[in-house]
Amino acid sequence: MPKREIEGDWVLGWPDRKRPAIIPGKDAEGRVINGRAPVTELAGLITPTEAYYIVNQLEAPEPVHPDDWRLAIKGEVERSFELDLESLMKLPGRSVRAVTECAGNDAGFFDYLRKGARKPSRVNQQDMQKRAQQRVKGELPSDEEISSESTTTCAVSAGEFTGAPLVEVLERAGIKPGAVCVRAQGFDTGHPDTAVIYRSVGTRDFEIPDPGVIHYEKALPLEKALDPDTILAWAQNGEYLWHVHGSPVRLIVPGWSGNWWVKWLEELEVMSSMPKPFYQREYFVYGESAQDPDKPPLMAMGVRNIITEPIDEDSPLPRGSHVIRGRAWSGKGAITRVEISLDEGKTWTDAHIEEPRERWLWRRWSYLWEVDKPGQYKIMARATDETGRVQPQTPWNFQRKHFDWIVPTDITII
Protein backbone atom coordinates (compact mmCIF):
# COMPACT_ATOMS: atom_id res chain seq x y z
CA MET A 1 0.00 0.00 0.00
CA PRO A 2 1.37 3.46 -0.84
CA LYS A 3 2.15 5.61 2.17
CA ARG A 4 -0.46 8.22 2.90
CA GLU A 5 0.68 11.76 2.32
CA ILE A 6 1.58 13.38 5.62
CA GLU A 7 3.93 16.18 4.75
CA GLY A 8 2.32 19.49 3.98
CA ASP A 9 3.11 23.15 4.44
CA TRP A 10 5.88 24.42 6.63
CA VAL A 11 4.35 26.16 9.59
CA LEU A 12 6.42 28.61 11.63
CA GLY A 13 9.48 27.10 10.00
CA TRP A 14 8.69 23.48 10.82
CA PRO A 15 7.26 20.77 8.56
CA ASP A 16 3.67 19.91 9.32
CA ARG A 17 1.14 17.36 8.18
CA LYS A 18 -1.13 17.80 5.22
CA ARG A 19 -3.81 20.28 6.23
CA PRO A 20 -7.46 20.07 5.26
CA ALA A 21 -8.55 22.83 2.88
CA ILE A 22 -11.72 23.51 0.92
CA ILE A 23 -12.19 22.32 -2.64
CA PRO A 24 -12.69 25.78 -4.14
CA GLY A 25 -14.89 27.19 -6.88
CA LYS A 26 -13.38 30.46 -8.13
CA ASP A 27 -14.59 33.48 -10.08
CA ALA A 28 -12.90 35.02 -13.12
CA GLU A 29 -10.46 36.92 -10.88
CA GLY A 30 -9.49 33.75 -9.07
CA ARG A 31 -11.37 34.67 -5.92
CA VAL A 32 -13.03 31.80 -4.08
CA ILE A 33 -16.83 32.10 -4.28
CA ASN A 34 -17.87 28.59 -3.22
CA GLY A 35 -16.13 25.76 -1.44
CA ARG A 36 -16.63 22.22 -0.21
CA ALA A 37 -15.19 20.92 3.06
CA PRO A 38 -13.04 17.77 2.94
CA VAL A 39 -15.39 16.13 5.42
CA THR A 40 -13.57 12.78 5.62
CA GLU A 41 -10.23 14.48 6.35
CA LEU A 42 -11.34 16.52 9.34
CA ALA A 43 -9.94 15.72 12.78
CA GLY A 44 -11.62 16.82 16.02
CA LEU A 45 -14.75 18.91 16.23
CA ILE A 46 -13.98 22.37 14.90
CA THR A 47 -13.48 22.74 11.16
CA PRO A 48 -10.48 24.99 10.47
CA THR A 49 -11.62 28.12 8.65
CA GLU A 50 -9.45 27.18 5.63
CA ALA A 51 -11.52 24.02 5.31
CA TYR A 52 -14.97 25.50 6.07
CA TYR A 53 -17.47 25.09 3.22
CA ILE A 54 -18.70 28.24 1.45
CA VAL A 55 -22.03 28.84 -0.28
CA ASN A 56 -23.09 32.11 -1.90
CA GLN A 57 -26.45 32.41 -3.61
CA LEU A 58 -25.87 35.87 -5.11
CA GLU A 59 -22.76 37.86 -6.08
CA ALA A 60 -20.08 37.93 -3.41
CA PRO A 61 -20.11 41.60 -2.31
CA GLU A 62 -17.13 43.94 -2.10
CA PRO A 63 -15.73 43.95 1.44
CA VAL A 64 -16.89 46.68 3.82
CA HIS A 65 -14.34 48.14 6.21
CA PRO A 66 -15.35 47.30 9.81
CA ASP A 67 -15.24 51.03 10.71
CA ASP A 68 -17.70 51.84 7.92
CA TRP A 69 -20.14 49.05 8.73
CA ARG A 70 -23.56 49.91 10.18
CA LEU A 71 -26.47 47.67 11.09
CA ALA A 72 -29.94 49.22 10.86
CA ILE A 73 -32.61 47.98 13.31
CA LYS A 74 -36.06 49.09 12.25
CA GLY A 75 -39.70 48.07 11.75
CA GLU A 76 -42.06 47.19 14.59
CA VAL A 77 -39.82 48.55 17.34
CA GLU A 78 -40.09 51.38 19.87
CA ARG A 79 -36.74 52.85 18.79
CA SER A 80 -35.12 52.37 15.38
CA PHE A 81 -31.37 52.84 15.42
CA GLU A 82 -28.09 52.09 13.73
CA LEU A 83 -25.36 50.13 15.38
CA ASP A 84 -21.66 50.21 14.55
CA LEU A 85 -19.35 47.31 15.20
CA GLU A 86 -17.78 48.86 18.28
CA SER A 87 -21.19 49.29 19.95
CA LEU A 88 -22.27 45.79 18.98
CA MET A 89 -19.10 44.42 20.57
CA LYS A 90 -19.89 46.23 23.83
CA LEU A 91 -23.07 44.20 24.34
CA PRO A 92 -22.95 41.14 26.63
CA GLY A 93 -21.34 38.59 24.33
CA ARG A 94 -21.76 34.89 23.77
CA SER A 95 -19.95 32.07 21.97
CA VAL A 96 -21.74 29.16 20.37
CA ARG A 97 -20.23 26.03 18.86
CA ALA A 98 -22.44 24.80 16.06
CA VAL A 99 -22.63 22.84 12.84
CA THR A 100 -23.33 24.88 9.72
CA GLU A 101 -24.97 22.71 7.10
CA CYS A 102 -26.31 23.72 3.71
CA ALA A 103 -29.91 22.58 3.29
CA GLY A 104 -28.91 20.73 0.11
CA ASN A 105 -26.00 18.85 1.64
CA ASP A 106 -25.97 15.15 0.68
CA ALA A 107 -29.16 15.57 -1.36
CA GLY A 108 -27.91 13.13 -4.00
CA PHE A 109 -28.30 10.31 -1.47
CA PHE A 110 -32.09 10.70 -1.68
CA ASP A 111 -31.92 9.48 -5.30
CA TYR A 112 -29.35 6.84 -4.50
CA LEU A 113 -31.58 5.33 -1.79
CA ARG A 114 -34.93 5.88 -3.52
CA LYS A 115 -34.12 4.83 -7.05
CA GLY A 116 -30.62 3.44 -7.18
CA ALA A 117 -29.00 6.48 -8.79
CA ARG A 118 -25.21 6.71 -8.70
CA LYS A 119 -23.92 6.89 -5.14
CA PRO A 120 -22.49 10.32 -4.35
CA SER A 121 -18.92 10.43 -3.05
CA ARG A 122 -17.59 12.54 -0.19
CA VAL A 123 -14.06 12.50 -1.56
CA ASN A 124 -14.71 13.31 -5.20
CA GLN A 125 -16.03 16.86 -5.60
CA GLN A 126 -14.55 17.68 -9.00
CA ASP A 127 -17.69 19.33 -10.38
CA MET A 128 -17.26 22.26 -7.95
CA GLN A 129 -15.02 24.29 -10.24
CA LYS A 130 -17.11 23.51 -13.32
CA ARG A 131 -20.26 24.85 -11.68
CA ALA A 132 -18.53 28.02 -10.49
CA GLN A 133 -17.27 28.64 -14.05
CA GLN A 134 -20.72 28.11 -15.56
CA ARG A 135 -22.13 30.64 -13.14
CA VAL A 136 -19.42 33.24 -13.75
CA LYS A 137 -19.93 32.94 -17.52
CA GLY A 138 -23.71 33.03 -17.10
CA GLU A 139 -23.90 29.66 -18.90
CA LEU A 140 -26.87 27.45 -18.21
CA PRO A 141 -26.25 23.80 -17.53
CA SER A 142 -27.83 21.41 -20.04
CA ASP A 143 -31.06 19.60 -19.24
CA GLU A 144 -28.95 16.45 -19.09
CA GLU A 145 -26.70 17.99 -16.44
CA ILE A 146 -29.67 19.24 -14.47
CA SER A 147 -31.39 15.86 -14.37
CA SER A 148 -28.39 13.57 -14.01
CA GLU A 149 -25.82 15.40 -11.88
CA SER A 150 -25.88 14.30 -8.33
CA THR A 151 -26.34 17.24 -6.01
CA THR A 152 -23.74 18.21 -3.61
CA THR A 153 -22.00 16.63 -0.62
CA CYS A 154 -19.48 18.17 1.79
CA ALA A 155 -21.44 21.39 2.38
CA VAL A 156 -21.16 21.00 6.14
CA SER A 157 -18.65 22.19 8.76
CA ALA A 158 -18.61 23.12 12.44
CA GLY A 159 -17.25 26.20 14.10
CA GLU A 160 -17.06 28.31 17.21
CA PHE A 161 -18.82 31.64 16.71
CA THR A 162 -18.51 34.67 18.93
CA GLY A 163 -20.85 37.63 18.95
CA ALA A 164 -23.81 39.09 20.77
CA PRO A 165 -27.25 37.48 21.04
CA LEU A 166 -29.70 38.97 18.56
CA VAL A 167 -32.12 39.33 21.48
CA GLU A 168 -29.75 41.84 23.16
CA VAL A 169 -30.13 44.14 20.16
CA LEU A 170 -33.88 43.56 19.85
CA GLU A 171 -34.43 44.35 23.51
CA ARG A 172 -32.65 47.67 23.12
CA ALA A 173 -34.92 48.50 20.20
CA GLY A 174 -38.05 47.32 22.06
CA ILE A 175 -40.16 44.86 20.11
CA LYS A 176 -43.74 46.03 19.65
CA PRO A 177 -46.60 43.63 20.44
CA GLY A 178 -47.73 41.65 17.43
CA ALA A 179 -44.25 41.15 15.96
CA VAL A 180 -43.84 37.74 14.30
CA CYS A 181 -40.41 37.74 12.69
CA VAL A 182 -37.13 39.53 12.13
CA ARG A 183 -36.14 40.05 8.51
CA ALA A 184 -32.35 39.89 8.22
CA GLN A 185 -30.79 41.36 5.10
CA GLY A 186 -27.27 40.98 3.74
CA PHE A 187 -25.51 43.66 1.69
CA ASP A 188 -24.83 41.20 -1.13
CA THR A 189 -27.05 41.57 -4.16
CA GLY A 190 -27.63 39.73 -7.40
CA HIS A 191 -30.00 37.95 -9.68
CA PRO A 192 -30.83 34.52 -8.24
CA ASP A 193 -29.22 31.77 -10.29
CA THR A 194 -32.23 29.69 -11.33
CA ALA A 195 -29.92 26.84 -12.41
CA VAL A 196 -29.26 26.23 -8.70
CA ILE A 197 -32.96 25.69 -8.07
CA TYR A 198 -33.51 23.59 -11.20
CA ARG A 199 -30.56 21.43 -10.22
CA SER A 200 -31.91 20.85 -6.76
CA VAL A 201 -35.27 19.78 -8.21
CA GLY A 202 -33.65 17.83 -11.06
CA THR A 203 -35.76 19.33 -13.85
CA ARG A 204 -36.32 22.66 -15.57
CA ASP A 205 -39.96 22.17 -16.54
CA PHE A 206 -41.49 24.73 -14.20
CA GLU A 207 -41.39 28.53 -13.93
CA ILE A 208 -39.51 30.44 -11.28
CA PRO A 209 -40.87 33.99 -10.97
CA ASP A 210 -38.06 36.47 -11.68
CA PRO A 211 -37.55 38.72 -8.63
CA GLY A 212 -34.93 40.84 -10.46
CA VAL A 213 -31.82 41.93 -8.60
CA ILE A 214 -32.34 41.35 -4.89
CA HIS A 215 -30.55 41.33 -1.57
CA TYR A 216 -30.10 38.06 0.26
CA GLU A 217 -32.66 38.09 3.07
CA LYS A 218 -34.51 35.75 5.40
CA ALA A 219 -37.46 36.35 7.72
CA LEU A 220 -36.59 34.56 10.96
CA PRO A 221 -39.60 33.61 13.14
CA LEU A 222 -39.56 35.58 16.40
CA GLU A 223 -39.22 32.59 18.70
CA LYS A 224 -35.93 31.54 17.10
CA ALA A 225 -34.78 35.17 16.91
CA LEU A 226 -35.20 35.44 20.71
CA ASP A 227 -33.24 32.25 21.45
CA PRO A 228 -30.04 33.46 23.17
CA ASP A 229 -27.99 31.08 21.01
CA THR A 230 -29.08 32.99 17.90
CA ILE A 231 -26.21 35.44 17.67
CA LEU A 232 -24.83 38.28 15.58
CA ALA A 233 -21.30 36.97 15.15
CA TRP A 234 -18.14 38.87 14.27
CA ALA A 235 -15.73 36.03 15.00
CA GLN A 236 -15.32 32.44 13.93
CA ASN A 237 -12.77 29.97 15.31
CA GLY A 238 -10.90 32.53 17.36
CA GLU A 239 -10.51 35.30 14.78
CA TYR A 240 -12.63 37.93 13.05
CA LEU A 241 -14.91 36.56 10.35
CA TRP A 242 -13.38 36.02 6.95
CA HIS A 243 -15.02 37.96 4.15
CA VAL A 244 -16.36 34.81 2.43
CA HIS A 245 -18.12 33.89 5.68
CA GLY A 246 -19.95 37.20 5.99
CA SER A 247 -17.64 39.78 7.53
CA PRO A 248 -18.01 42.05 9.44
CA VAL A 249 -21.12 40.43 11.01
CA ARG A 250 -23.35 37.48 10.19
CA LEU A 251 -26.29 35.74 11.78
CA ILE A 252 -25.79 32.36 13.49
CA VAL A 253 -28.96 30.27 13.76
CA PRO A 254 -27.89 27.00 15.42
CA GLY A 255 -29.81 23.90 14.38
CA TRP A 256 -31.36 25.55 11.33
CA SER A 257 -29.87 25.00 7.89
CA GLY A 258 -27.19 27.34 6.53
CA ASN A 259 -29.54 29.51 4.46
CA TRP A 260 -30.77 31.12 7.73
CA TRP A 261 -27.27 32.16 8.68
CA VAL A 262 -27.38 35.47 6.81
CA LYS A 263 -23.89 36.75 5.97
CA TRP A 264 -22.78 40.38 5.48
CA LEU A 265 -25.64 41.70 7.64
CA GLU A 266 -26.80 45.28 7.04
CA GLU A 267 -30.40 45.44 8.19
CA LEU A 268 -32.77 43.87 10.72
CA GLU A 269 -36.46 44.61 10.39
CA VAL A 270 -38.98 43.48 13.01
CA MET A 271 -42.25 42.68 11.21
CA SER A 272 -45.84 42.00 12.25
CA SER A 273 -46.59 39.73 9.28
CA MET A 274 -44.46 37.14 7.59
CA PRO A 275 -42.98 38.41 4.31
CA LYS A 276 -42.00 35.88 1.64
CA PRO A 277 -38.40 36.51 0.62
CA PHE A 278 -37.29 34.73 -2.55
CA TYR A 279 -35.10 32.31 -0.56
CA GLN A 280 -38.06 31.35 1.60
CA ARG A 281 -40.69 31.10 -1.13
CA GLU A 282 -39.03 29.71 -4.27
CA TYR A 283 -36.09 27.99 -2.66
CA PHE A 284 -35.32 26.32 0.67
CA VAL A 285 -38.86 25.02 0.95
CA TYR A 286 -40.46 21.63 1.49
CA GLY A 287 -43.27 20.40 -0.72
CA GLU A 288 -44.25 17.52 -2.97
CA SER A 289 -43.62 19.35 -6.23
CA ALA A 290 -42.93 22.77 -7.70
CA GLN A 291 -46.71 23.11 -8.18
CA ASP A 292 -47.50 22.24 -4.57
CA PRO A 293 -49.52 25.17 -3.16
CA ASP A 294 -48.19 24.43 0.32
CA LYS A 295 -44.42 24.88 0.39
CA PRO A 296 -43.39 25.46 4.03
CA PRO A 297 -39.93 26.93 4.58
CA LEU A 298 -37.17 24.68 5.87
CA MET A 299 -36.24 25.33 9.48
CA ALA A 300 -34.58 22.95 11.99
CA MET A 301 -32.52 20.15 10.52
CA GLY A 302 -33.42 16.52 11.19
CA VAL A 303 -31.00 14.04 12.79
CA ARG A 304 -27.78 13.71 10.82
CA ASN A 305 -25.05 11.14 10.81
CA ILE A 306 -22.16 10.38 8.52
CA ILE A 307 -19.67 7.54 8.53
CA THR A 308 -16.23 9.00 7.90
CA GLU A 309 -14.17 5.82 8.30
CA PRO A 310 -14.04 3.49 6.51
CA ILE A 311 -15.46 5.02 3.35
CA ASP A 312 -16.49 3.14 0.21
CA GLU A 313 -13.26 4.28 -1.45
CA ASP A 314 -11.19 2.36 1.19
CA SER A 315 -12.66 -0.96 0.06
CA PRO A 316 -11.46 -3.74 -0.12
CA LEU A 317 -10.07 -4.07 3.40
CA PRO A 318 -8.24 -7.02 4.97
CA ARG A 319 -9.80 -9.20 7.65
CA GLY A 320 -9.06 -8.11 11.21
CA SER A 321 -9.99 -5.18 13.33
CA HIS A 322 -11.17 -1.89 11.90
CA VAL A 323 -12.52 1.17 13.55
CA ILE A 324 -15.79 2.56 12.27
CA ARG A 325 -15.95 6.25 12.93
CA GLY A 326 -18.32 9.06 12.23
CA ARG A 327 -20.00 12.20 13.42
CA ALA A 328 -23.64 12.88 14.24
CA TRP A 329 -25.61 16.06 14.89
CA SER A 330 -29.19 17.25 15.06
CA GLY A 331 -31.19 20.42 14.47
CA LYS A 332 -32.97 20.15 17.83
CA GLY A 333 -30.51 19.05 20.49
CA ALA A 334 -27.48 17.01 21.47
CA ILE A 335 -26.93 13.53 20.08
CA THR A 336 -27.42 10.94 22.82
CA ARG A 337 -27.11 7.65 20.98
CA VAL A 338 -25.48 6.12 17.91
CA GLU A 339 -26.05 2.51 16.93
CA ILE A 340 -24.30 0.38 14.34
CA SER A 341 -25.73 -2.42 12.21
CA LEU A 342 -23.66 -4.84 10.14
CA ASP A 343 -26.57 -7.02 9.01
CA GLU A 344 -28.60 -4.60 6.91
CA GLY A 345 -30.51 -3.19 9.85
CA LYS A 346 -31.67 -6.44 11.52
CA THR A 347 -29.69 -5.88 14.72
CA TRP A 348 -28.13 -2.75 16.20
CA THR A 349 -25.33 -2.27 18.72
CA ASP A 350 -24.40 0.93 20.54
CA ALA A 351 -21.33 2.79 19.39
CA HIS A 352 -19.13 4.82 21.74
CA ILE A 353 -20.07 8.49 21.62
CA GLU A 354 -17.32 10.93 22.50
CA GLU A 355 -17.65 13.86 24.86
CA PRO A 356 -18.50 16.67 24.93
CA ARG A 357 -22.23 16.52 24.63
CA GLU A 358 -23.20 19.83 23.10
CA ARG A 359 -26.53 20.92 21.79
CA TRP A 360 -25.55 22.37 18.43
CA LEU A 361 -22.26 20.67 17.74
CA TRP A 362 -21.66 17.32 16.12
CA ARG A 363 -20.45 14.45 18.28
CA ARG A 364 -17.77 12.04 17.17
CA TRP A 365 -18.46 8.35 17.67
CA SER A 366 -16.60 5.10 17.08
CA TYR A 367 -17.10 1.37 17.01
CA LEU A 368 -14.50 -1.39 16.96
CA TRP A 369 -15.32 -3.82 14.18
CA GLU A 370 -13.71 -7.25 14.37
CA VAL A 371 -14.31 -9.00 11.10
CA ASP A 372 -12.84 -12.33 10.07
CA LYS A 373 -15.23 -13.48 7.37
CA PRO A 374 -14.54 -12.26 3.83
CA GLY A 375 -17.54 -10.86 2.06
CA GLN A 376 -19.53 -7.76 1.23
CA TYR A 377 -20.62 -5.65 4.18
CA LYS A 378 -22.99 -2.76 4.56
CA ILE A 379 -22.08 -0.64 7.56
CA MET A 380 -25.07 1.31 8.87
CA ALA A 381 -25.18 3.90 11.64
CA ARG A 382 -28.26 5.42 13.24
CA ALA A 383 -28.34 8.42 15.57
CA THR A 384 -30.83 9.63 18.20
CA ASP A 385 -30.98 13.11 19.71
CA GLU A 386 -31.90 14.24 23.22
CA THR A 387 -35.46 15.04 22.16
CA GLY A 388 -35.88 11.35 21.24
CA ARG A 389 -35.79 11.89 17.50
CA VAL A 390 -34.26 8.95 15.63
CA GLN A 391 -32.90 9.00 12.09
CA PRO A 392 -34.45 9.58 9.62
CA GLN A 393 -36.77 12.52 10.29
CA THR A 394 -37.11 14.19 6.92
CA PRO A 395 -39.33 12.81 4.17
CA TRP A 396 -38.29 13.17 0.55
CA ASN A 397 -39.24 16.60 -0.80
CA PHE A 398 -39.04 17.96 -4.34
CA GLN A 399 -36.04 20.25 -3.70
CA ARG A 400 -34.29 17.35 -1.95
CA LYS A 401 -33.44 19.39 1.15
CA HIS A 402 -32.47 18.37 4.69
CA PHE A 403 -31.41 14.84 3.76
CA ASP A 404 -30.98 12.83 6.96
CA TRP A 405 -31.44 9.18 6.01
CA ILE A 406 -29.18 6.27 6.89
CA VAL A 407 -26.59 5.69 4.15
CA PRO A 408 -24.80 2.33 4.29
CA THR A 409 -21.06 2.32 3.64
CA ASP A 410 -20.18 -0.54 1.26
CA ILE A 411 -17.06 -2.47 2.19
CA THR A 412 -15.60 -5.68 0.80
CA ILE A 413 -13.52 -7.70 3.24
CA ILE A 414 -10.90 -10.00 1.68
Ligand X SMILES: Nc1nc2c(c(=O)[nH]1)N[C@H]1C(S)=C(S)[C@@H](COP(=O)(O)O)O[C@H]1N2
In whole angstroms, how close is the CB of 294 to ligand X at the nearest point? 22
263 versus 325: smaller Cβ distance to ligand X: 263
- From ligand X, Mo ion, none, which one binds at residue 253 (CB under 5 to 8 Å depending on kind)? none
Q: Over 42-57, what HEC string results?
A: CCCCCCCHHHCCECCC
Give start and end residues of each alpha helix (H) in 274-324.
278-281
54 versus 173: smaller Cβ distance to Mo ion: 54
52 versus 403: smaller Cβ distance to ligand X: 52
Q: What letters, b where the CB count within 10 A reaches 16 and e where it falls short, cover 225-264?
A: bbbebbbbbbbbbeebbebbbbbbbbbbbbbbbbbbbbbb
Q: Identify any residues that bridge with 323 across adjacent strands, giving them in sequence order.
A: 368
196 versus 390: smaller Cβ distance to Mo ion: 196
In whole angstroms, how close is the CB of 65 to ligand X at the nearest point? 18
HSE-CB for 266 with a 13 A CA cutoff: 15
Between the alpha carbon of residue 209 and those of residues 120, 193, 278, 290, 399, the distances in Å are: 31, 12, 9, 12, 16
258 versus 302: smaller Cβ distance to ligand X: 258
In whole angstroms, how close is the CB of 19 to ligand X at the nearest point? 18
Instruction: State how far the Cα of 103 lies from the Cα of 89, in Å rounded to an integer.
Output: 30
In whole angstroms, how close is the CB of 113 to ligand X at the nearest point? 23
Say if residues 132 and 34 touch (Cβ distance below 8 Å).
Answer: yes
Say if residues 161 and 235 touch (Cβ distance below 8 Å).
Answer: yes
Within 259-288, the residues that bind Mo ion by CB under 5 A are: 259
Coil, helix or strand for 185? strand
In whole angstroms, how close is the CB of 43 to ligand X at the nearest point? 19
* Closest to 409 (Cα-Cα) out of 331, 335, 324: 324
220 versus 338: smaller Cβ distance to ligand X: 220
DSSP 247: S
Instruction: State how far the Cα of 38 lies from the Cα of 110, in Å rounded to an integer.
Output: 21
In whole angstroms, how close is the CB of 371 to Mo ion at the nearest point? 38
- From ligand X, Mo ion, none, which one binds at residue 57 (CB under 5 to 8 Å depending on kind)? ligand X
100 versus 305: smaller Cβ distance to Mo ion: 100
In whole angstroms, how close is the CB of 166 to Mo ion at the nearest point? 20
Instruction: State how far the Cα of 311 lies from the Cα of 109, in Å rounded to an integer.
Output: 15
Q: Identify any residues that bridge with 367 across adjacent strands, giving them in sequence order.
A: 324
360 versus 369: smaller Cβ distance to ligand X: 360
Residues 79-108 vs Mo ion: string with x where CB under 5 A? -----------------------x------
Residues 234-263 vs Mo ion: string with x where CB under 5 A? ------------------------xx----
Determine, following the binding rule CB under 5 A, whether residue 61 of this chain makes contact with Mo ion.
Answer: no
In whole angstroms, how close is the CB of 393 to Mo ion at the nearest point? 19
Instruction: Tell me which residues touch ligand X (CB under 6 A).
Output: 52-58, 100, 102, 186, 188, 216, 245-246, 258-259, 261-264
With CB under 5 A as the rule, give the number of residues binding Mo ion: 4
- From ligand X, Mo ion, none, which one binds at residue 186 (CB under 5 to 8 Å depending on kind)? ligand X
Say if residues 187 and 266 touch (Cβ distance below 8 Å).
Answer: yes
In whole angstroms, how close is the CB of 73 to ligand X at the nearest point? 17
* Closest to 163 (Cα-Cα) out of 86, 226, 73, 96: 96
258 versus 297: smaller Cβ distance to ligand X: 258
In whole angstroms, how close is the CB of 171 to Mo ion at the nearest point? 29
* Closest to 184 (Cα-Cα) out of 171, 161, 172, 166: 166
192 versus 408: smaller Cβ distance to Mo ion: 192
- From ligand X, Mo ion, none, which one binds at residue 234 (CB under 5 to 8 Å depending on kind)? none
Of 55, 164, 166, 169, the one binding Mo ion by CB under 5 A: 55
The residue whose Cβ lies closest to Mo ion is 102
* Closest to 324 (Cα-Cα) out of 335, 338, 303, 343: 338
- Binding interface with Mo ion (CB under 5 A): 55, 102, 258-259
